[in-house]
Amino acid sequence: SKVTIGNNLQSQQFIRSGWLFALYAKVKRANLQSGVYDLSSSQTIGDIIAKMAKGDVLERSIVIKEGYRREEIGAILEKYRLAKKDEFLAKTEDKEGYLFPDTYFIPVNTSLDKIIKLFEDNFAKKTAGLKIDKKTIILASIVEREAKLDGDRAPIARVYLNRLDKGMKLEADPTIQYAKGNWEKIQNGDKKIDSFYNTYLYKSLPPGPICNPGLKSIKASINPPANDYLYFFHLKDGTTIFSQTKEEHEANLEKYRSQIAN
């Protein structure tokens, strides 16, 4: 918030009054841009606000959230004027799943290749020592989009592995969303989309990750504890209801009908 920024600037002795900074920024309706700035205590509050509204930074701070797909990351890079979305997508066609979600501080004028390498190097650093392969990351990417609570990540991963072991289709909604190119709720007709990412049609993991999973989902997908569940759904509060049989699953759907998440 403008108040927080003002207080930070005051504590670092760039300005005398954080409150006055916030008031001035509000009056000017200034849209302050995040990033690392080269500031001086000799600058006026107006000068600093003008600089921050312009986005004249040394570094830009961006947040890549767990579960973002390449298109979403590209949009962020373009928003902060670090790269063109189309150029980013063209250079990362085979990198979905390996662009690690995190907060990054990227110097202005950093090349796109270096930005991509920054994401990949962070993935390698955070997953060092873990026994992972492409299938692990594919599974983790589905878990990332499905799990609502941390404690449900591993059980959900095991459900998918159980279904694969039994030759069942995964029937994971996020895989269809990936095929469609958005995260909007799927409709019944979407389940007929002819794509190898459509796990309502094909009895295997999709050919690649459907997003860039965080470390919790990756770890949860490495040999998750055994269970006998084959079905699950979510309640509005994020709770996951697991079932061993289709009959039990349908009974639970009826039991929790009013509490089921949309």
Residue carrying structure tokens 């927080």: 4
Tell me if 81 sits within 8 A of 55, measured CB to CB: yes
In sequence order, which ranges of 96-194 are alpha helices (DSSP H)? 112-126, 134-146, 153-165, 173-180
How confident is the model at residue 262, as a pLDDT? 72
Least confident of 27-36, 151-160, 170-179, 234-243: 27-36
Q: Is the pTM of this model over 0.95?
A: no
How confident is the model at residue 14, as a pLDDT? 93
Question: Residue 165: which residues within 8 A CB-CB, separation 6 or more?
Answer: none
Domains of the chain, residue spans: 2-54, 59-126, 134-259
Q: Tens of pLDDT along 166-205?
A: 999 999 999 999 999 999 999 989 999 999 999 999 999 9
* pLDDT greater than 90 at residue 256: yes
Q: What mean pLDDT, rounded, does the chain reach?
A: 95
How confident is the model at residue 34, as a pLDDT? 81
Pick the closest to residue 156 from 70, 239, 221 (CA basis): 221
Of residues 213 and 182, which shows the higher confidence score?
213
CA distance 171 to 208: 16
How confident is the model at residue 261, as a pLDDT? 84
3-state class (DSSP) for residue 231? strand
How confident is the model at residue 209, as a pLDDT? 99
Please state which CATH number belongs to domain 59-126: 3.30.1490
Phi, psi of 30 (to 5 degrees): -75, 130
How confident is the model at residue 234, as a pLDDT? 95
* pLDDT greater than 90 at residue 58: no
CA distance 1 to 32: 9
Of residues 262 and 233, which shows the higher confidence score?
233
Compute, in degrees rounded to 10, the torsion defined by CA atoms 180, 142, 130, 92.
Answer: 10
How confident is the model at residue 57, as a pLDDT? 79
Average pLDDT over residues 60-81: 96
